[in-house]
Structure formats: structure tokens, C-alpha cells
Structure 1
């Protein structure tokens, strides 16, 4: 099997291209793919989420989440306040500016999806979706498999 037929490589390549496209599109707003994910999570969870929960939802480290939130706050997309239940934590809230900007994000996402799926019919898309979901289930349901942790984790 050559590299262009390896499913893991292809998934990784698609992931990188999606992130790069989003990073390039929102560069004028000083917004990255990861920051847009935070805004999306806030927008779909009532506009306010504690920072620890966001960290868990995105599966990132504490320092990474702190940096994301600080940059979003500096750019006026979120505000933070101490968590009354746990003073070590912060409550992150989406701003009106970010809510307005979300419309642009949604339109851009729809346009990008149309471009990405061009030439793929409904049946092909259904098969790909079903296969990818099965792969996700297979990975999540593994038992007894040991992995060596990356030194970056």
C-alpha cells in the first residue's frame, strides 16, 4: 500500500488542509482554527462555559486552553470571569462581536463544505460518513491496546 492509499495518512492530510484553509480564511480577524472551535463550542453551549469544560471538550492541555482564551479575549471575542464554584477556574463567555462574526463563520464553513464535497454524490458521501463513524467507534472501543505517549502530551 503506498502512502496515498493509507487511510490514516489521508485522514491526516484532509485534517491539515481543513485547518490550513480555516486559518487562512480567518487570518484577517486574527482568528485560528482552534480559536474558531472555542467560539463554536461556546455558541452551541449557551454562550458561556467554564474553561476546564472547554479544555475537556477540545481535548487540549490547560496551558493550550489558557492561551486560546487569552488571545480570544484580547481580540474581543470572549470575556472571562472567575468561576464562583471554583475560583481556580474561569467562566468564558462569547461576546456580541463574536456572535455577529459567527454568521460569517457559518457561511464560510458551508462554502468550504460545498467545495470539499464537489463531485461526491449523496451515496458516496453516505458511505464515507458511515465508514468514518465506524472507524471512530473502533478506535474508541479498543480494549487492552497500549500506546506509547508522545513526549508532547
Structure 2
């Protein structure tokens, strides 16, 4: 008989929810959501990025990216820019305010990551990453 408490999918889903909720709570104290923080992080890492690429990197739908970008643009964290080569493509860039928020909230992410991996060795983390990657491959993603 199927036992949900022994189901890998349930365990991963439950763990992911608890971890993301906890991270979001820490970021909300700084006035930003987890998803907004991820946008700032990707833009910091990759520079000017198209909305489409940003959605791919974050694994979210184009419509979700558009609403997220709308909100972040209203708050002054990012700007949209059209290219001369293809006016259909919109690129997203950090504003000075966005860069400042990223710098201010970077320690939140660093501290959370440190807390999350407390008492877990680098070797264990590598095993975890390999197993998780294999599971993702197993389901054809």
C-alpha cells in the first residue's frame, strides 16, 4: 500500500515549501519578497537580461515574469529597455535603487544559506546535488 509519508515527492515538496517560506519571511523584514530577490540576484549576475531569459532562468511563466517586472518597475528597482535591433524584445536592467537593495539584502541570502547548510559537510552537499539532479533527469525535465 502506498504510504505518502515515505513518498520522495512529498518529502521534497514539503521540505522545499518550508525552506522557501522561511527564506521569504527573512526577506520580507527587508521589504522584498524571495522572488524579487531572485530577480535582483540574476540581474546582478548576468546584467541586462530579456524578460524571456529571466523567466527561463527562474523557471516561471512569461505572464508571471511580466507581472513581477511590472511591480518591480513601479517600485523603482528595475527598468525595461527595448533594443533597436528587435523592438519586440524587452530587456530588464537594475536601477541604482535596485542595486542598493541587492547589496543591502545580499547578507540575508548568505546568512540563510549558511544556516540552511549548518552541520552539513561539503561532501554531503555534493551528494545531495548529484542525487537531486539525477531525480530531475529521471522525470525528464
Q: TM-score of the superposition, structure 2-length normalised?
A: 0.82
Q: Deviation at 1:29?
A: 4.5
Larger RCO, structures 1/2 (Cα 8 Å, 6+ apart): 2
Q: Which residue of 2 aligns with 1:103?
A: 103
Q: Which residue of 1 aligns with 2:58?
A: 58
Contact in 1 for aligned 2:27/2:108 (Cα 8 Å): no
Q: How many residues align?
A: 140
Q: Calculate the aligned-residue CA RMSD, in Å.
A: 2.2
1:116 aligns with 2:129: no
Whole-Å separation in 1 of the counterparts to 2:121 and 2:83: 48
Q: Which residue of 2 aligns with 1:87?
A: 87
More helix by share: 2
Q: TM-score of the superposition, structure 1-length normalised?
A: 0.76
Q: Deviation at 1:71?
A: 0.9
Contact in 1 for aligned 2:30/2:105 (Cα 8 Å): no
Q: Which residue of 2 aligns with 1:125?
A: 125
Alignment gaps of 5+ in structure 1: 142-153
Whole-Å separation in 1 of the counterparts to 2:84 and 2:55: 18
Alignment gaps of 5+ in structure 2: none
Whole-Å separation in 2 of the counterparts to 1:21 and 1:40: 18
